[in-house]
Amino acid sequence: MIIHYFKDYFSYNLLSRKEKLFLYFPAIHLPLDNPFLLCNNSYVTFVTYEMHRNFTCQMKGSSMAPKPKITREMILNTVLEITRKNGFSSVNARSIAGSLKCSTRPIFTCYVNMAELKKDFLDYAFSYYSQYVSAYQVSENPLPYLLLPLSYVEFAREETNLFKFLFVKDMDLDMKETEDFYREPGNREKAEAFSDMIGVETAQGKQIFLDLFLYTHGIAVLTASGKLSLSSGRVREMIVRFLSAFVQLPPCDPVPKQ
């Protein structure tokens, strides 16, 4: 950039609208063959700019693409993909920034610290799980009372790292008594709906639902840890057999022997 300063007495009012605009936005580059006068009080600056190889002038109708703004949604989606692939232990400011191709600054503009981000991500990841259950219902069409246990085990199989994050390492559950299970948001409503599905009173249904969760959770954790490799059909058979010990269930399609 070549800048020459010299004294003169051009009036600001003699500048064209385009020149005035550039006076307030001096960072906009101009081609070498288009120098012009910028006036500031009685000092005039004659400015010429060396044209960059890929430069296009905004005043000629083209504009340089603005840098994308990093949002919370973008950050959370990136954390989700990192967690699904490598586990949440791989999530940090640098890994997020690397995936987004930005510095770490936008991350800490959106979040005070990584603890706040993790808290937000727990809700985001659970929403992803809820969508997974809905998709499983559409694709597999299980009996209503089998939807939650079967999709839970399948989630552990297909989304192992996310399952460990949600339901093993960061599971928000502290049970000392069976009733503690129903202090967790949503569990009571699920148990009541389950009771209606299998045709029992709510009190009995709540106990069966808790036992079913503990049984299914054990299968899912063993599956996620690679200690158990049962087919989906065999898992379904085991859960039906478990429930049949408590209530009379409608017959299910036979599961072929593996």
> With 0-12 CB in 10 A as exposed, 13-18 as middle and 19+ as buried, what is 191?
buried
pLDDT digits (tens, 9 = 90+) for 52-82: 334 443 444 444 555 668 999 999 999 999 9
The identity of residue 13, as a single letter, is: N
Residues 43, 49, 54: CA angle, nearest 5 degrees: 155
User: How far, in Å, CA of 155 to CA of 166, rounded?
Assistant: 11
Q: Give the residue-averaged pLDDT of 154-177.
A: 88
| pLDDT at site 51 | 37
3-state SS, one letter per residue, for 26-86: CCCCCCCCCCEEEEECCEEEEEECCCCCCCCCHHHCCCCCCCCCCCHHHHHHHHHHHHHHH
Which fold, 69-140? Answer: Arc Repressor Mutant, subunit A (1.10.10)
pLDDT above 70 for 239: yes
> With 0-12 CB in 10 A as exposed, 13-18 as middle and 19+ as buried, what is 163?
buried
DSSP 8: -
- Global pTM reads 0.71
- Enumerate the β-bridge partners of residue 46: 4, 37
Which residue do the tokens 């599956």 mark? Answer: 223
User: How far, in Å, CA of 8 to CA of 44, rounded?
Assistant: 6
Q: Give the residue-averaged pLDDT of 23-38.
A: 43
| pLDDT at site 177 | 80
pLDDT digits (tens, 9 = 90+) for 204-230: 999 999 999 999 999 999 999 999 999
Instruction: Give the residue with greater pLDDT, 147 vs 69.
Output: 147
The number of angstroms, rounded, from the C-alpha of 56 to the middle of its chain's C-alpha atoms is: 36
Alpha helices in the chain (DSSP H): 17-24, 72-86, 93-100, 105-110, 114-140, 147-158, 160-164, 187-198, 202-224, 232-244
CB 15 within 8 A of CB 39: yes
User: How far, in Å, CA of 185 to CA of 188, rounded?
Assistant: 8
> Rounded mean pLDDT of the chain?
79
Both structure tokens of 196: 């209606």
The identity of residue 60, as a single letter, is: K
